[in-house]
Every structure is written in structure tokens, then in C-alpha cells.
Amino acid sequence: MSSVQAADSGASAEKITRASGSNLALAFIALPRARRRDISIFYSYCRVVDDLADEPGWTAAQRLVALDRWKRSLSGPVEKEPPLAAQVRDLIARYALPPELFLELIYGCEMDVRGTFYETWSELRLYCHRVASVVGLVSIEIFGCREPSSKTYAAELGLALQLTNIIRDVGHDYATHGRVYIPRADMDQLEYDVGGLALQREDATFRALMEFEAGRAQELYANARAAMSPADRRALVAAEIMRAVYQRLLRKMERGGFRTLTQRYTLTRAEKLWCVLRGWLGRA
């Protein structure tokens, strides 16, 4: 059951979060109960609008209509408003969150509906900002961060996490949705083409392309780490768990030779628990 179906069935935000099996949901165990409840509401919103871009059996027009209903519901009740909408509006009010960030996430989902290719890193960076960095920018408010530099941390970490996802899912995204997130300019530079994705060609040029994108991701992780303020370190434990999980996943792909067209890389439960522990101890 997708998060859209779960929400329509009346499932709670906590249930949607648990059912997702996401690494992000794993990190929430580091939060106090009240903040964990609130981040679950926000995460459920993220899951629902993201899944609207991929809901099976829907046309592109139907997806855009559903996303537009969410846009309108952020500012007040609408006819046939989405489940969770009232909770999301309450969350925005209680934390004085910028509604524009919630809209930006929807704009990112609309990019998935309307387009499947990116010419440059600048274009892809905008997409990553909308679907990932804004998630971090809202999350740090719920986490209780106070330092201005934490916004830089959240934005850079969001880019890094999304790029890691893109590297991991490059084969699945093309085979399932026909989407190519790797910038065409990078593919041209390293002499790899879309035809290689269709043939699942994991040759030296593909590995070089993945290594190039992984290097960009590692730089973004480093930027995030450099921006983290000691004053907000405890508030950022959940985010640091996420960083530990995804950097470990990136290293696992690197060690495995980036065979991301023919296999899906995951961490074992023990590896994830190790990341949780290191995040708690501030050693991620």
C-alpha cells in the first residue's frame, strides 16, 4: 500500500512513517516524543505528495490535479481536501514554518511529473533542493535548531542525500519511470549515454560517471559537516544519523563497483544500528 492509499484509508502519520521503511524514519527514534510526533506529520506529508507523482494507474493530469489540491489546502480547507492537510496546517502554524517550503516540495514533485531529463547540475540541483533540501530546512525547525548555520547544513545535506539516492536508484528510475536524473552534460563529458542505461551497461565509463557523481555527493556531505554548529549538535542528532546511513551506503556502492543498474544497494540492520549509535555519540 502506498502512502497515498494509507492516508486515504485514514492511517495516522505515525503509521505512514513506520510503514515507509525509510532510513529517514529510522533516524526519528533520536527525537523526544513530541518532536517525533510532529516530524512524523511532516514526513507523512512528504511521502504523500512524493507518491502522488508516481501513484500507479494515474495520468499525468490526474497527478497534477492532486498536487494542486495539496497546494491550495496549505493555506486553508478546500473541498475534498487531502487527509493530513489539517494536521499539516496546524504544524505550519505552531512552528511558524514558511508555507513556501511546503510549496517548493510540491514543485519538485511536479518536476517529476512533467520532465524526466536534466541537462546540467544546476538544473538537477534545483530539483534536489526542492525535494530534499527543503525537507531539511523544515526539519531543523521541528528539531529545535537555533543557529543560522544549521540552514546551510540542512540545505547541503539534503543535496547530498538526494544525489546518493539518485546514484543508488539510477537503474530503477530509468527502467520503471523512464527518468534520467544524471545530468546530460556529465554523461556527455564521461562518454556514457542513455542507451547504456537501457542495456544495463555497467562498463568502465559507467563506473567513471558514478564515481564523478559520488565525488560531488561527498563534497556536499563535507560542506554540511563543516556548517554544523556545536550549539545545535544535539538537535541535529537525527540528521547526523541520516548522514551516517547515507554516507555508509555511498561507500558500499563505491566498494561494490557501482553496479547500480543490476542491483539495489541497501544496508543491513546491523549496519543501520551502528550508524544510529555513532549518530547518538556524535561520531557519525
CA distance 19 to 226: 33
Judge if 95 and 148 occupy the same domain. no
Judge if 31 and 136 occupy the same domain. no
pLDDT in tens, the chain (284 residues): 444 544 443 445 556 555 545 556 667 777 888 999 999 999 999 999 999 998 888 999 999 999 999 999 999 999 889 889 999 999 999 999 999 999 999 999 999 999 889 999 999 999 999 999 999 999 999 999 999 999 999 999 999 999 999 999 999 999 999 999 999 999 999 999 999 999 999 999 999 999 999 999 999 999 999 999 999 999 999 999 999 999 999 999 999 999 999 999 999 989 988 888 777 766 55
Q: Which of 115, 139, 162 is where one domain is finished?
A: 115
Judge if 121 and 260 occupy the same domain. yes
Judge if 129 and 57 occupy the same domain. no
CATH code: domain of residue 236: 1.10.600.10
Domain count, the chain: 2
Range of the domain at 82: 1-115
Which three-class secondary structure state does DSSP give residue 117? strand
Q: What are the helix (H) ranges across the chain?
A: 3-8, 13-20, 23-27, 33-52, 60-73, 85-95, 99-114, 121-128, 134-143, 149-168, 170-177, 184-189, 194-198, 204-227, 237-255, 269-281
Judge if 62 and 138 occupy the same domain. no
CA distance 256 to 272: 18
CB 265 within 8 A of CB 252: yes
| Closest to 183 measured CA to CA, from 171, 193, 173 | 193
